[in-house]
Amino acid sequence: MKKMIIALLVALLTFSAFACTKGTAPAADTNNTSDTQKPEAEPGQEVFEEPGNAPVAGGWQVPDEEMRASAEEAFRKATEGRVGYSYEMIECISYQIVAGVNFKIICRGKAVTPDAVSEIVLITVYSKLDGTAEITDNVTLISAANQSILGGWTVNEGPLELDNNEAAKAAFEKAMAKLLGASYEPVAVLASQVVAGTNYQILCKTTPVVPNADYHYTFVKIYAALDGHAEILEIIDAEDYQAEEFTLAPEEESSAPNELPGQAPGEPEVGEVVGGWIHMTEDILPHAEAAFEAATSHKLGYTYELLACTSYQVVSGMNYRYICRGKAVSPSAEPEIILVTVYESLDGSADISEIEALIAAPSEPIDGGWGATSGDTAIDQYPEVKAAFEKAISELVGAAYEPVALLGAQVVAGTNYQILCKTTAIYPNATPYYTVVTIFEDLEGNASIINIIDL
């Protein structure tokens, strides 16, 4: 079924590209969901449609069982027959639908020589439409060249399962015992490092303990002290493998990110994950805000109010993603909440490339429908909403949720609220990111979380 979806998406992309050559593409339709009939909400029922339920062409996604099987087949085709170096697949962490499919796969690699030692690599395998596959990218996470250095990381040469590594298992269980808010399923013990005690790098499948959460892959660094206690040193999303804070590879081998074509000295070093979406950082934020201003300032007939810059993507240029309040310039227009993608080209120009409605302005009033906040969105302006929010998240541990804006509300047998939050997982060196938290407050004042969606 998924292969059929992929084929249809590829056909759609091909048709879209052909259509663009025949004429100017129409402006993004900000009301493209307003005529869609929404199901009537029951008390506490969530009707907010989560982006990304279907495969998204060009976006990286976590594989399900079917896509994992496809990744294994593509890996086999791409690595069989290679001489001089062997690849052992550990886990496929994500895939990307293009004209075919890209797979990111963590591997244990080793040169085919008598005294060679293993290393941990992250490869990208491109599975073509004709059924062939090839390796298109190879990033070394733990290099074989530096394992002879005293105090360096040593790749696990034996079984990778945690149950087969007793010392690592004991340290992992001690360190993770008090970490709440997410479940960490160990996939592989990748490496160890002898210090005053031992550090372990463990690949985990991680699932936040929130309703309808999707899992993702993380690298968990554990320190086991000589006296037997253990603690978490670092947890890094596997998709951030080239980010500055990622320190699996020895510092001796690290280098500054390559400048992109057309990138001037002094511009942000954006070499993290070409093609992958990355949570917004302080150094990129001014560039994102400038691109938003350039893309929206000349638009007529519709206003865009920036609420938050949520993420960015390195392409041939940059994509930026924002959550905004938009409104048609007409006396009777109602506001709506939208996700806006702005593309900034290498020549510095910027324009809106995509708009997705989160809370669409209705074409006519609908009883029980969502309505975007028309006044000040600051949460402090709505003490009753803030109180309901605090009740709903009071027992949610593992992450701190800072409410930023009240996006909208829906009257049911009680009220649903959508609240934009800046969210920080409670572990060392965690990077804040944005979420939309939907809560339900019943008529008796009880409040609960309906949904949490990462942006």
Last residue of a domain, one of 361, 390, 424: 361
CA–CA separation, 46 and 440 (whole Å): 9
Q: Taking residues 78-88, what's their average pLDDT?
A: 87
pLDDT tens, 179-205? 777 888 999 999 888 878 888 999 998
Compute how many other C-beta atoms are within 10 angstroms of the C-beta atom of residue 98.
18
- Assess whether 137 and 183 both reside in one domain: no
Inside any domain, residue 325: yes
Residue predicted with more confidence, 107 or 149: 107
Inside any domain, residue 206: yes
| pTM metric for this prediction | 0.47
- Structural domain harbouring 236: 153-251
pLDDT tens, 131-180? 999 999 888 888 766 555 556 788 888 999 998 899 999 999 998 887 77
Three-state SS annotation for 257-296:
CCCCCCCCCCCCCCCCCECCEEECCCCCHHHHHHHHHHHH
- Assess whether 245 and 270 both reside in one domain: no
Last residue of a domain, one of 326, 361, 396: 361
- Assess whether 125 and 180 both reside in one domain: no
Q: Are 97 and 58 in contact (CB under 8 A)?
A: yes
Nearest to 305 by CA among 330, 340, 278: 340
Q: Are 377 and 409 in contact (CB under 8 A)?
A: no
- Assess whether 204 and 277 both reside in one domain: no
- Assess whether 106 and 167 both reside in one domain: no
Q: What is the pLDDT of residue 200?
A: 92
Inside any domain, residue 293: yes
- Assess whether 313 and 385 both reside in one domain: no
Which residues are 58's β-sheet partners? none
Backbone angles phi, psi at 12, to 5 degrees: -65, -45
Inside any domain, residue 368: no
- Assess whether 266 and 345 both reside in one domain: yes
Q: What is the tally of structural domains in the chain?
A: 4
Q: Are 192 and 156 in contact (CB under 8 A)?
A: yes
| CATH, residue 275 | 3.10.450
DSSP of 42-71: PTT---PPPTTSS--BT-EE---HHHHHHH
pLDDT category, 411, cuts 50, 70, 90?
A: confident
Instruction: Give the dihedral sign, CA 82/87/89/92.
Output: negative
Nearest to 285 by CA among 263, 258, 312: 312
Inside any domain, residue 221: yes
Inside any domain, residue 9: no
- Assess whether 117 and 179 both reside in one domain: no
Nearest to 272 by CA among 219, 229, 212, 312: 312
pLDDT tens, 238-273? 766 543 334 443 333 333 233 333 333 333 333 333
- Assess whether 273 and 324 both reside in one domain: yes
Last residue of a domain, one of 141, 161, 182: 141
CA–CA separation, 164 and 162 (whole Å): 5
Inside any domain, residue 194: yes
- Assess whether 269 and 355 both reside in one domain: yes
- Assess whether 291 and 242 both reside in one domain: no
CA–CA separation, 321 and 292 (whole Å): 9
Give the Å distances, CA to CA, from 231 to 153, 172, 178, 425, 427: 18, 8, 10, 16, 11
Inside any domain, residue 21: no
